[in-house]
Structure 1
Amino acid sequence: MSASEFRTSDRAALPGLPASGQTRRLSVAGSRGTVGQCRDHTRLALHDWGLLPTEDPERQAVADDILLVVSELVTNACQHTGGPDQLVLRASDRILRIEVFDAADAPPLPRVPHTPGRPGGHGLHTVALLASRWGHLPRVDGPGKAVWAEIALPTG
């Protein structure tokens, strides 16, 4: 591998991201307009970090996946927990971690059996398809949990 090939493949996926990574937080209340608010917050972060706008189809697909995962996790919190209270985006050079915090202790459960033709119940299945990993953790600052998903970022 030549030096120029190494530099190209070793470049950070998000050129606008500080080398140490960055965390963006959005506090939200209730569920009215929350999904759009969280998508807008995420889109702005993706612009600031240099993933958007893009002419590269792979980078666009990753950005679209990130926005869809945010929508699905926030919608799930709105429908099943009374709404999230915080969205956290943690970006590193290769991974974007999305965390949606709510006050409910019950873990998120994908609908089983999953019936693709049936309305509703597809959110967590969609998250599982698009994310590299996903799960939930209890909150350390009080009751509730964080539902999280990680999405691998394109290289170079």
Structure 2
Amino acid sequence: MTTSRATLDGDRPGTGPTLPPGGQRRRLHLAGLPKPVARARTYAAQALADWSWPTGPDGGQDDIVLLVAELVANALLHAGGPVDLVLDASEARLRIEVTDRSTDLPVPRRPHRPGLPGGHGLFIVQRAADRWGAVPHDDGKTVWAEIDAPRPPSGG
């Protein structure tokens, strides 16, 4: 049996990720694991590499791994720990979801005070994500962030 692999062009500027038709959803169960932030970062970096997600300055892999780390760290520090990390990638966007067991919705510290310790996680999420929010459910909540996929340059 021969396995073929599509050409991965995600490292060229302006190209989108290489995904299976319809995108892909990956889940990492984090509840009870030691070092959930580090595990989530590694998991996200591997998924982005597998998808050949572009590495550019806007919505690149480093920004996405930072978003994952911030969302998981917030769940760890403020919500009793993360339960699951979900990465849902499509041709149009990447959605990051972190579920925890707390029903308290996140509220950014206002005003943001860069010179003081603490309160920077949601500010980073707001700056790095195209959209973010939180959805309460019976067992806690899911905090999510979305990054739009880079678009190929138009014209020529």
| TM-score normalised by the chain length of structure 2 | 0.82
**Structure 2 counterpart of 1:90:** 88
Query: Are 2:66 and 1:68 equivalent residues in the alignment?
Result: yes
- Which residue among 59, 63, 78 is the counterpart of 2:76? 78
Which residue does the alignment assign to 1:146?
142
Distance of 2:123 and 2:32 partners within structure 1: 24
Is the CA contact 1:13–1:153 (under 8 Å) kept in the aligned structure 2?
Answer: yes
Partner residue of 2:30?
28
Q: Which has the higher helix share?
A: 1
Letter of the structure 2 residue corresponding to residue 28 of structure 1? L
Query: 3, 12, 17: which is aligned to 1:14?
Result: 17
| Residue identity matched to 1:146 | T
Choose the corresponding residue for 2:128, options 124, 127, 130. 130
Q: CA deviation at 1:112?
A: 2.1
Alignment partner of 1:42 out of 44, 52, 58:
44
Q: Once the two structures are aligned, what percentage of the paired residues are identical? A: 49
The runs of 5 or more residues in structure 1 that have no matched partner are: 1-10
Letter matched to residue 75 of structure 2: A
Specify whether residues 105 and 31 from structure 1 end up closer, same or farther in structure 2 by C-alpha distance, changes over 3 A only: farther
Aligned to 2:7: none
Compute the displacement of 1:30 (Å). 3.5
Shift of 1:77: 0.3
Q: Which amino acid aligns with 1:14?
A: P
CA distance in 2, matches of 1:155, 1:113: 34
Q: What is the RMSD computed on CA atoms of the aligned residues?
A: 1.8
Q: For structure 2, which runs of at least 5 residues remain unmatched after alignment?
A: 1-13
Partner residue, 1:155: 151
> C-alpha separation between the residues in 1 aligned to 2:57 and 2:78?
33
Aligned residue-pair number:
139
**3-state DSSP of counterpart to 1:75:** helix
Query: How high is the TM-score relative to the length of structure 1?
Result: 0.82
Q: Verify the 8 A CA contact 1:31 1:78 in the aligned structure 2.
A: no
Structure 1 stretch displaced more, 107-116 or 36-45:
107-116
Is the partner of 2:82 in helix, strand or coil?
coil
List per-residue Cα deviations over 1:11-56 (Å, max 9, x = no partner).
97112x112011000001247400000011101100110126x5xx
